[in-house]
Chains A and B, each alone.
Chain A
Amino acid sequence: MVFSSNVFLFLFLPVFLIIYYLLPFKGRSAWILIGSYALYSWWRLDFLWLLAGVTLAAYFFALAIDRSSGPRRFQLLTVAVTINLCALAYFKYANFGISSFNAAMTGLGFAPFTWAPILLPIGLSFFIFHAISYLVDVYRQEEPPTRNLLDFAAFIALFPHLIAGPVLKYNLLADQFLSRTHTLEKFSYGATRFMTGFAKKVLIADTIAPLVTATFGQTSPSLFDSWLGALAYTLQLYFDFSGYSDMAIGLAAMMGFKFPENFNHPYISRSITEFWRRWHMSLSSWLREYLYIGLGGNRKGRTRTYVNLALTMVLGGLWHGANWTFILWGTWHGGILALERRMKEAKLWQPRPAWLTIPGTLLLVILGWVMFRADNVPDAFRMYRGMLGLNGVPLSDTLAWQVRPSELITMLIAAVLVYVAPVWGNRVGDVGSKLLRPGPAVIATVALLPLFVLAIMKLSAQSYTPFLYFQF
């Protein structure tokens, strides 16, 4: 069940909220757990054991780590993290590993190994990361382990972030499980964020989606085809995932929780370094804290720092999915991050005007997104050939009949929004900021209401379109 579905909107959400607000505070964690498990089970009941198992393992291992001392603490952490990584490896990477192995075997003339493909449990990457961060924080003594299994289980399963993030640390919400306020203002803020995300997802991302599918499906895309597809996907992914994040933050606020932001206008970045401080910020923060620092960070010399940066991004890429495309996408970003750091250290990084650095960074990001979106590496290179004009320039006949004016207009509106929103935020104030000017904020909110209704009507007419990040 996705947030942008009628079942969620008209069945799950009202029932959940009514019972939630009827219960006393003490009963709300239990209801969050029941509701979140119900939402997860809607997809498949048989993977609920995995979610519950990961939760129980993290809870008890954290207690054991806290009670231990000396080398035993590290041994327990190693066992606990290994269990989580094994679950991730089995469900997420076994298919990829065996198919890669089989490709090599077939190439050498041997018979391939036969196996039944393994289904990826939805949200696995996210709840495994939540569990690992909790275990590491307890090991590092950055937070004491919780004794409240109910609150901890409700945190891991909390449905706004269960399926596709944001990636959160337990200590961010631990106090909020013990005490949080429920005000009409907070609920209203959550409703605004939820409706904003819903409109971004349904009206923009889903409208552009068919164009992306059509362009990336071209066997020999022209210059126009491939750039149109790359730009469309750049916008689709941003509005899809930031829309999902808005909905998650909004739903959490409706329950009184305060989630961190996950996006901060990433397409106005002036470097890839800045891009990663603005895109999927919760994942970026997680990678820095638990992977980059775990690898040694910048404490082991200059060369090792570059290697750690690149390796963090390669593994971050692999986290997105078991495919060479994600590994190459991570390598692309990791390589550029390391290069930018090297240039800064060698004093070769000079300040450049925004009109040069913003499009330049965006170009690098778009080139990365092509690899990220492609089904496989040869498909990505077909797109790159098209982007270089090696397959001709004009729009292909096979694509021309599939492109609708509504898709192009939506792309244009989306592009304007991407660059107007930061200016609006700075001059007028985002809805949640203290810079807010009442007049424009009221106009923006009132304009949002019919857009939300329009999005519901569109949702009822369109086919099922899950969030892009659900696959990760």
Chain B
Amino acid sequence: MTEFAQDTLKPNLDNPAAPKVLQWLPAAFLLAVVGVGAVLALTSKGTRTFPTGQDVVTGQWMST
């Protein structure tokens, strides 16, 4: 039976050959971007909405 995927499990982690910089740079970058974005969104004066118009707390769309 070969019509369907036999085994979807592929090694996708634990790569000893990865350069050192790849072992920390993506994590640091993502956390920095997400952290800065969160601080900016939550400390913005006069609004509780994200730039898309979505309410920070309820998730409802505020803009019309």
Q: Which residues of A contact B (CB under 8 A)?
A: 1, 5-7, 9-11, 13-14, 42, 166, 172, 184-192, 194-195, 249, 253, 258-262, 264, 273, 276-278, 281-282, 284-285, 287-288, 292-293, 297-298, 309, 312, 337, 341, 429, 431-436, 438, 441-442, 445-446, 448-449, 452-453, 456, 459-464
Q: Smallest distance from the beta carbon of A327 to chain B beta carbons, Å?
A: 19
CB distance from A455 to the nearest CB of B (A): 10
Q: Are B15 and A309 in contact (CB under 8 A)?
A: no
Q: Could you list some 21 contacts between A and B, CB below 8 A?
A: A6-B50, A7-B54, A184-B23, A184-B24, A184-B27, A185-B15, A188-B23, A189-B18, A260-B8, A277-B5, A278-B5, A282-B5, A284-B8, A285-B5, A288-B4, A312-B4, A429-B17, A438-B18, A445-B22, A459-B52, A464-B61
Q: Mark B22-62, 1 if CB is under 8 A from A, else 0.
A: 11111101110111011011100000001110101001010
Interchain CB contact under 8 A, A341 and B3: yes
Chain A residues with CB below 8 A from B8, complex form:
166, 260-262, 281-282, 284-285
| Contact (Cβ within 8 A) A191 B26 | yes
Most B CB within 10 A of own CB, among A186, A188, A312:
A188
Q: How far is the CB of A345 from chain B (nearest CB, A)?
A: 12
Query: Known: A6-B50, A273-B2. Contact between A188 and B25, CB under 8 A?
Result: yes
In the complex with contacts A185-B18, A285-B6, A14-B11 CB distance below 8 A: no
**Residue pair A7, B21 in contact (C-beta under 8 Å):** no
Using known A-B contacts A185-B23, A273-B2, A449-B29, determine if residue A7 contacts B59 with beta carbons closer than 8 Å.
yes
17 new A-B contacts, CB < 8 A, other than A6-B41, A452-B29, are A186-B13, A188-B27, A261-B12, A282-B5, A285-B4, A285-B5, A287-B4, A288-B1, A288-B6, A309-B3, A341-B3, A432-B15, A436-B17, A445-B21, A448-B26, A459-B52, A460-B52
Q: Is the interface of B mostly helix, strand, loop or mixed?
A: loop
Distance from B60 Cβ to chain A, minimum over Cβ atoms (Å): 10
Q: Which residues of A contact B11 (CB under 8 A)?
A: 432-434
**Given the complex of chains A and B, what is the CA–CA distance between A284 and B8 in angstroms?**
9
Cβ-defined contact, A188 with B59, below 8 A: no
Question: Do A284 and B5 have beta carbons less than 8 Å apart?
Answer: yes
Once the chains are docked, how many angstroms separate the CA of A449 from the CA of B30? 8
Are the CB atoms of B22 and A442 closer together than 8 Å?
A: yes
Q: Contacts of B34 on A, CB cut-off 8 Å?
A: 9-10, 13-14
> In the complex, which of the residues A5, A189, A276, A298 contacts B54, with contact meaning CB atoms closer than 8 Å?
A5
Closest Cβ–Cβ distance, residue B59 to chain A (whole Å): 5
Q: Interface SS of chain A: helix, strand, loop or mixed? A: helix
Beta-carbon contact of A433 and B15 below 8 Å = yes
By a CB distance below 8 angstroms, the chain A residues around B56 are 7, 11
Answer whether A284 and B4 are a contact pair too, CB < 8 Å, given A6-B50, A9-B34, A42-B59: yes
Chain B contacts for A264, CB-based, 8 A: 10
Q: State the CA gap A191–B25 with chains docked (Å).
A: 9
Closest Cβ–Cβ distance, residue A232 to chain B (whole Å): 24
Query: What CA separation (Å) do A459 and B13 show in the bound complex?
Result: 29
Complex CA gap A10/B7 in Å reads 35
Selected from B10, B25, B31, B52, the residue in CB contact (under 8 A) with A6 is B52
Q: Which one of A13, A194, A260, A436 lies within 8 Å of B15 (CB-CB)?
A: A436
From B14, B42, B50, A186 is in contact (CB under 8 Å) with B14
Q: Which residue from B13, B27, B54 sits with its C-beta under 8 Å from A258?
A: B13
CA separation between A433 and B11, bound complex, in Å? Answer: 7
Residue of B nearest to A334 (CB): B3
Q: Do A10 and B50 touch across chains, with their CB atoms under 8 A apart?
A: yes
Q: Knowing A260-B8, A445-B22, say if A14 contacts B38 (CB, 8 Å).
A: yes
CB distance from B47 to the nearest CB of A (A): 13
B50 touches A191 (CB 8 A): no
The 4 closest A-B CB pairs, nearest first, are A288-B4, A460-B51, A260-B8, A281-B5
Query: Chain B residues near A438 (CB, 8 Å)?
Result: 17-19
A348 to chain B, nearest CB (A): 17
- Residues A441 and B4 in contact, CB atoms below 8 Å apart: no
Residues of B within 8 A of A277 (CB): 2-6
Docked Cα-Cα span, A257 to B35, in Å, equals: 23
Known: A188-B26, A192-B26, A195-B30. A261 touches B10 (CB 8 A): yes
Q: How far is the CA of A10 from the CA of B30 in the complex (A)?
A: 11
Within 8 Å by CB of A297, from B1, B15, B23, lies B1
Q: Is the CB of A191 within 8 A of B27?
A: yes
Q: Give Cα A461–Cα B50 distance, bound, in whole angstroms.
A: 11
Q: Which of A11, A292, A452 has the most CB of B within 10 A?
A: A11
**Which residue of B14, B18, B23 contacts A436 across the interface (Cβ within 8 Å)?**
B18
- Cβ distance B34 to chain A, nearest Cβ, rounded Å: 5
Assembly CA distance A431 to B52 (angstroms): 32
